[in-house]
Chain A
Amino acid sequence: MKKIPVIAGILVVLDQIIKYLVVSKLAFTESVNIINNFFRITYMQNTGGAWSILAGNTIILAVLSIIILIFIIYVISKDKKINNPKIISYGLLIGGIIGNLIDRLRLNYVIDYLDFNFGGYYFPVFNLADIAIVIGGIILILVLIKEGD
């Protein structure tokens, strides 16, 4: 149980350090080519959620993430069958949400930098916190399915 804040904490620190580096090294919209025609580091600012949904509604998104955060903490406190996959999942979700929440409260937008191109389809630019949220969510769904059986 104590591992959840540790995972979340490490994630938040890592996420903010990378974002700090991106902002200090790159101008807005600037890219560095990592793997030709596939992967670039690009500094983008996203005022929306994933895939820029609700773009411009920073306050709504910030309030929404705080509500979700409180809900997850409530679920954890009630969870009697805590196990390692769940600890990782909760840690990733909380860390990822806080990582992006810090940006929204501080800057009104989220700093994104992972820029992939899949054969001409330019995937929306995202960040480490986004990855944590997606992976955390997938693990949680898998665990809950298993518990349901």
Chain B
Amino acid sequence: MDLTADIETRLDTFLVNNLDVSRSKIEKHIKENKVLVNDKPVKKSYNLKIDDKIHIEPFVLEDTTIKKENIKLDIIYEDDDVIVINKPKNMVVHPAVGNYTGTLVNGLLYHIDSLSTLNGEARPGIVHRIDKDTTGLLLVAKNDKAHAFLAKQLEEKTITRKYQALVWGVINSDTVTVDAPIGRDKLDRKKMAVVENGKKAVTHLKVLERYHNATLVELSLETGRTHQIRVHMNYINHPVVNDKVYSKRKLIDDTGQCLHAKTIGFIHPTTLKYMEFTSELPDTFINILNKVKDL
């Protein structure tokens, strides 16, 4: 991975703020000369200058064999090519540095005999992701042919993905389109934000129900940036209710953002027929909805 310094700060500080990796792992990486600044190994205390080129060798997962775990999965549909899973709250999709267990992938490895390999060893079967506290439908590929076919549809945006979210405030228009580029937040590098030279991001929104101080909306994405819905809704001052990271509003409980991937539709890799699945809003969402609609 390569980064360009856009702020004058210590190398270790910059990496801690820009990578989802612990400080100790970063320090070890720098010590082992796996981080180069302008092609030269440096100390962790090195003071970065604007436009310094930082090269970071990949952080290898400690144990390349990911544990199979008997995690209960809510499988909506399964055949020889694809699986549609209803992901619960508080579940990460795939293992990453610092988090090797309890992910959806650990459960998939236990329950499913064959999964696609195109996305690397840590991500068997995974063609797309949803956030840890976001619930709803996720598509998994069981073989590489299906994976490539689905990945192409994702790239060409021919997959139907509709979300439902509860957002703060009343949205008066029946439909809204947010077209605002997303990149890393300059003030807090672990967050995303609408930034001037970010990547293009477009979100379409339809109002389903208006309450006193909140609105239930259906969202569809033209692009799939990290945290796109949460960032865009916050940007138009209608943050997703109970979003611990992006909403500067009352938090209702500990279950995270009221965001649910409700519908997924795709062309099946073998039959070439269009298939569509929907899932009901989970209890965590309904509970918050019931509390917020009376406010």
Complex Cα spacing A29 to B251, Å: 9
Q: Is the pair B251, A122 in contact by a Cβ cutoff of 8 Å?
A: yes
Whether B152 is near chain A, meaning CB under 8 Å from some CB there, is no
Q: Is the pair A31, B249 in contact by a Cβ cutoff of 8 Å?
A: yes
Q: Is the pair A29, B254 in contact by a Cβ cutoff of 8 Å?
A: no
Point out the residue from A31, A33, A120, A121 that lies within 8 Å of B250, measured CB to CB.
A31
Whether A111 is near chain B, meaning CB under 8 Å from some CB there, is no
Q: Is the pair A42, B254 in contact by a Cβ cutoff of 8 Å?
A: no
Report if A44-B254 is in contact (Cβ < 8 Å); known contacts: A29-B213, A29-B295. no
- What is the interface residue range for chain A against chain B? 10 to 19
Q: Is the interface of A mostly helix, strand, loop or mixed?
A: strand
A57: B residues at CB distance < 8 A: none
Q: Is the interface of B mostly helix, strand, loop or mixed?
A: loop
Interface string of A32-63 (1 = CB under 8 A from B): 11000000101011000000000000000000
**Count of CB-CB pairs between chains A and B under 8 Å:** 32
B151: A residues at CB distance < 8 A: none
Whether B253 is near chain A, meaning CB under 8 Å from some CB there, is yes
A105-148 CB contacts (< 8 Å) to partner B: 115, 117, 120-122, 125
Q: Is the pair B250, A32 in contact by a Cβ cutoff of 8 Å?
A: no
B137-195 CB contacts (< 8 Å) to partner A: 168
Complex Cα spacing A117 to B251, Å: 9
> Which 10 A-B pairs have CB atoms at the shortest separation, nearest pair first?
A120-B254, A29-B249, A29-B250, A42-B250, A31-B248, A30-B249, A31-B249, A122-B253, A29-B168, A30-B248
Residues on A lying within 8 angstroms of B by beta carbon are: 28-33, 40, 42, 44-45, 115, 117, 120-122, 125
